[in-house]
Structure 1
């Protein structure tokens, strides 16, 4: 594709940033009206930028320096910000972050969904912006020295971290302990480890560490457990899995527990090391409350909970009405959901382990259903599922989305 006249890759420009857009970049315009996207900028910034990509209708550029800072710009508290790809908005005050999340959702509903004028509530904030994440997926690079952290923005390079201000203190303790290990057995293990996941239970204090490795080194797993537990007494288990963590890895071995307990309100959940759970237990509680308020159950409804996971919504729904059926594809999560229903006094509710697309046609014929709750993975519901749900004639649908 040819570079537009008057603009070349590598050229430096000054751009006034007008607003923020989906995925976090700032948006400005050239004098000829073309849009410029610049990461790590804030509305109100006058920025010097360097063109990285120039197309006929838009330009992507990198921030060189802030000429005049926006009133909402703050000093990022993390020294890795801008290199680590985990955060995009640490240079914004928290109130500005919440404001622009709401504005971006408004814009997406209008531009993509053709739903202008849809009311969007103020963000429900369960906690502050720091130390709220109770789950971490650390990337590993074992070259001349061990590097453990997160990927650099838009690359696979590992940014070596000593701590992350977003993480629960227990997870930072795990990170610090892993970085400090020098045992020969562990040095032998780490070149074969792809990722290390760590989870800290909300309200229970438990910590579980999961290693996704290409080999089966059981002795090193036991050694790792004791080394971490010496620094992180809350550790209850280390799990070894073989394969890609996002492609149904195979369980190999564990030392200690293979799951943690979570507490959300007055419900307790067992969560397997490979099962999904909200990264913040406080956020899970806020989200559950909002879903229950929207459900407004009277006790007589039949409810479908699709993509039910470990039963985060299934359990409180089952406490409020007569018939609840959860559908979950992940075997470990479905097993946990059955356990969680029983342990929370809801044995009548059922869980079916299956792909939603496979069982929904039969469930539609088993109606009528009074409520469908959808909480799909990040990629959202397939067109097949959306068409099936809209064709069921369900009077109410609650769709929980982490990515609009």
Structure 2
């Protein structure tokens, strides 16, 4: 048994306890907390508390709203006052990158997520338990997603009961229904429901599906042909519209089950404006363009935009988004690391979590004056900058946008300018 005061947080947001010459990482614990750790578990080379009690509360704490807090892995920091969350995110970002950056909080910190993937298992339907890949929290509500969460989950449970379809067995990797994905257009009120299952539905099952989810503006059944634990499958429209819409100020985006879109609709305009603020000149290359989130926004503001994206479906969606907004932006299929970077004033990169890697050298050799780097992984940015980009670019500015309240994550927008 170990007891002591949490002095700091790890880069991934766990409380750090120094006891008897050992460092123990404590989830849901914050600087100033006094904790008593009863059991620890080794994971990825670290000692992580698995059974502990809070002896004395930190003055940084607030009372969590969610009844699932402390078990659910969705909101590690919900027990922290929001102002402290922002301060600590800035501190962790500076500790990793060496950069001081202003941080902008999310306009809403409850009900802000526009998508949730509820895992459907014999143990329960909801979200994964923190630190337990086989544990599931049987949710009653989700305060960071939607007030309608109970309605969505009730519809699913009634649907399963009537049809006899079996929830997924995480341990044995068998049975029928694996995920329920729900998307909401926060500014349009539209709802998309996508059921990810390992079986094709019969006619009767489809009729029941339509009935129980009749409130959806778009209804999909996705056939999952592998046993990986992710909410992906071959999406087939069952009823209503192919897409739902989200509107961020004067730009409309189409959403589909297979397209990536930033999860916080309310903070997205802050992110887009930060990218716009660091964008210079007229010609812009959006190097990981996705569904055109940045490119269409910038084209709406008069920039000449070309986008490169390796996913053909995302390119199709980006082109549709440009069309419905009446803007001139060209999107094409290609790998960032294979792109011949021509005469652009600014290149925007929002790479995968692993970072730019080979594409970083292309940017260094390109001669492009301005680079805007968007990332939720400060370690990947630091690696890209120190190994590659620093040869040709200096950091001119940075801003943090809190797209993920109640978690340690933060989105960074970093302005880089070519060295003279």
TM-score relative to the length of structure 2: 0.80
What residue in structure 2 maps to residue 398 of structure 1?
Answer: 372
Note the C-alpha offset of 1:151.
Answer: 1.0
Q: In the superposition, relative to structure 1, how do residues 48 and 194 fare at CA in structure 2: closer, same or farther (>3 Å)?
A: same
Contact 1:272–1:333 (CA under 8 A) maintained in structure 2: no
What residue in structure 2 maps to residue 80 of structure 1?
Answer: 68
Note the C-alpha offset of 1:319.
Answer: 2.9
CA distance in 1, matches of 2:150, 2:367: 48
Secondary structure of the residue aligned to 1:22 is: coil
Q: In the superposition, relative to structure 1, how do residues 182 and 388 fare at CA in structure 2: closer, same or farther (>3 Å)?
A: closer
What residue in structure 1 maps to residue 116 of structure 2?
Answer: 136
Q: What is the RMSD of the two structures over their aligned residues, measured on CA atoms?
A: 2.4
Are positions 1:290 and 2:253 aligned together? Answer: no
CA distance in 2, matches of 1:222, 1:333: 30
CA distance in 2, matches of 1:267, 1:186: 43
Please list the CA deviations of residues 148-197 of structure 1 after superposition, one character each: whole Å capped at 9, or x if unmatched.
10111222222111111111223443123223445532636874121111
Q: How many pairs are equivalent? A: 366
Are positions 1:236 and 2:217 aligned together? Answer: yes
What residue in structure 2 maps to residue 221 of structure 1?
Answer: 206
What residue in structure 2 maps to residue 371 of structure 1?
Answer: 346
Note the C-alpha offset of 1:218.
Answer: 5.1
Are positions 1:29 and 2:6 aligned together? Answer: no
CA distance in 1, matches of 2:285, 2:230: 26
What residue in structure 1 maps to residue 165 of structure 2?
Answer: 187
What residue in structure 2 maps to residue 71 of structure 1?
Answer: 59
Please list the CA deviations of residues 9-50 of structure 1 after superposition, one character each: whole Å capped at 9, or x if unmatched.
xxx111211121222201232354x43321111111111113
Contact 1:46–1:68 (CA under 8 A) maintained in structure 2: yes
Q: In the superposition, relative to structure 1, how do residues 304 and 380 fare at CA in structure 2: closer, same or farther (>3 Å)?
A: farther
What residue in structure 2 maps to residue 9 of structure 1?
Answer: none
The equivalences for 1:302-313 within 5 A come to: 302-313=283-294
Are positions 1:19 and 2:8 aligned together? Answer: yes
What residue in structure 2 maps to residue 97 of structure 1?
Answer: 85
Are positions 1:202 and 2:186 aligned together? Answer: yes
Please list the CA deviations of residues 114-144 of structure 1 after superposition, one character each: whole Å capped at 9, or x if unmatched.
xx3x2211x212323211111101101147x
Note the C-alpha offset of 1:239.
Answer: 0.7
What residue in structure 1 maps to residue 251 of structure 2?
Answer: 267
Contact 2:122–2:167 (CA under 8 A) maintained in structure 1: no
Secondary structure of the residue aligned to 1:173 is: helix
Larger Rg computed on CA atoms: 1
Question: Which of 97, 101, 121 pairs up with 1:120?
Answer: 101
Note the C-alpha offset of 1:59.
Answer: 4.0
Runs of 4+ in structure 1 displaced over 4 angstroms?
188-191, 244-248
CA distance in 2, matches of 1:169, 1:252: 27
Secondary structure of the residue aligned to 2:104 is: coil
Secondary structure of the residue aligned to 2:375 is: coil
Q: In the superposition, relative to structure 1, how do residues 194 and 18 fare at CA in structure 2: closer, same or farther (>3 Å)?
A: same
Contact 1:171–1:198 (CA under 8 A) maintained in structure 2: no
Note the C-alpha offset of 1:90.
Answer: 1.5
TM-score relative to the length of structure 1: 0.83
Note the C-alpha offset of 1:253.
Answer: 4.1
What residue in structure 2 maps to residue 383 of structure 1?
Answer: 357
